Amino acid sequence: MFKNVRGFKVKTSVLLALVLLFTSILLPAGQHASAAPSFAKGADISWVPGMEAQGYKWKDKNGVQRDIIDILKKDYQINSVRIRVFVNPSNDYGNGYMNKDRAAALAQRAKNAGMSVMLTLHYSDSWADPGKQSKPAAWKNYSFQQLMDAVWNYTREVMTAMQNKGVTPDWVQIGNETSNGMLWDDGKASVNMKNYAWLVNTGHNAVKSISSGTKTIVHLAGGDDNALYVWNIGGLINNGANFDMIAMSLYPSASGWNTAVTNTVNNAKDMINRYGKEIMISEIGMDNNQAAAGKSFVAAMKNQIRNLPNGKGKGVFYWEPQATPGYNGGYGKGAWQSNMMPTAVMEGFID
């Protein structure tokens, strides 16, 4: 039965319905996602454990040293966090480190602070993005059926690790910036859209088998690139993939952010009209030294996504705001300064 549920070769809707029915009967109430905020004002904070291990300590705008999660929540109205998970990462703080156990511990901290949690499953040992979607080393020689089995089992393992810490994520991304698919080359969208769809469906079904209330997300880069989304999302849907939400990334320049926001919002509206999906902006960022423009950019994204038609705009997440200039070899789009005090960027989230 599970092979059919994972691969959805026959009567997927019936099989998935059965899985969800048995899940709702067998799992206690605490095993379901709690109500997500009506609109997520979020931050990807996946570098926090590694930064803390290196001795980083953050200050608020008054120079008072405080827990970074407390600052984000109380000072900037951040109600949600986004946490990435690698399969078998190295201990490199910047490019690995976040295995399922470290991710679960961070999720527990966020939940204890009253925040909602989004997971980003990279299905890789390190970064998965539009330019690379490398299989985990342990999965390298798998057949496609074995790859689907691995996605199924690993997704459930991560969800279970979260629930062992008392956390049921509100959202789970099936892959990260899968603009040309995932788990290359088997799931490379430009080579085999059907395989990509099957992998997405496998991850979706695995999440739902643990928590029927958790929303699944397909996340692409270039939120202002409508043609990319029509090709990718349309291709997934035409090949039978099931997922709940569409997520977008956007990293505009300080001089071009207005146009980028307009194009992204128009793209989001088109996705809603075409596919009826909810929209999440799961990554935004701007150069650290452009704080005034960054604050305006954040506020514009928040306000315009929140006002998408039919309540379909569900949130905006800033990527690694706690990063200082040059962290991890030169990342320059965080919202904290070298003196460990914040810029004005995150003030764009304040209503």
Q: Which of 52, 278, 283, 347 is catalytic?
A: 283
Q: Which of 177, 278, 320, 347 is catalytic?
A: 177
Instruction: Check pLDDT > 50 for residue 43.
Output: yes
Which pLDDT tens digit goes with each residue over 188-245?
A: 999 999 999 999 999 999 999 999 999 999 999 999 999 999 999 999 999 999 999 9
Contact 203, 148 (CB under 8 A): no
Instruction: Check pLDDT > 90 for residue 33.
Output: no
| Distance from C-alpha of 81 to C-alpha of 30, rounded to nearest angstrom | 20
* Helix residue spans in the chain (DSSP H): 2-7, 12-26, 48-53, 68-76, 100-112, 144-164, 193-210, 226-238, 257-275, 291-306, 327-330
Which pLDDT tens digit goes with each residue over 284-336?
A: 999 999 999 999 999 999 999 999 999 999 999 999 999 999 899 999 999 99
Instruction: Check pLDDT > 90 for residue 62.
Output: yes
pLDDT value of residue 6? 55
Q: How many Cβ atoms sit within 10 Å of the Cβ of residue 8?
A: 22
Mean pLDDT of 125-137: 98
CA angle 8/13/15 to nearest 5° reads 70
How does the average pLDDT of the chain come out, rounded? 92
pTM of the model: 0.91
Mean pLDDT of 263-282: 98
pLDDT value of residue 326? 87
Mean pLDDT of 83-101: 98
Does residue 278 have an active-site annotation?
no
Contact 118, 82 (CB under 8 A): yes
Q: Which residues 6+ apart lie within 8 Å of 280 measured at CB? A: 40, 118, 171, 217, 219, 245, 246, 247, 248, 314, 315, 316, 317
pLDDT value of residue 26? 42
Instruction: Give percent above pLDDT 90 in the chain.
Output: 89
> Which residue has tokens 């490398």?
134
Contact 120, 82 (CB under 8 A): yes
Which residue, among 169, 19, 154, has the nearest Cα to 83 in the 3D structure?
A: 169
* CATH class entry, domain 40-349: alpha beta
Radius of gyration, alpha carbons of the chain: 19
Does residue 283 have an active-site annotation?
yes
Cis peptide, bond prior to residue 287, ω within 30 of zero? no
| Distance from C-alpha of 339 to C-alpha of 40, rounded to nearest angstrom | 29
pLDDT value of residue 160? 98
Q: How many Cβ atoms sit within 10 Å of the Cβ of residue 164?
A: 11
In the chain, domain spans: 40-349
Q: Which structure tokens are listed for 168?
A: 């049921």
Instruction: Check pLDDT > 90 for residue 337.
Output: yes
Cis peptide, bond prior to residue 185, ω within 30 of zero? yes
> Which residue has tokens 């919002």?
265
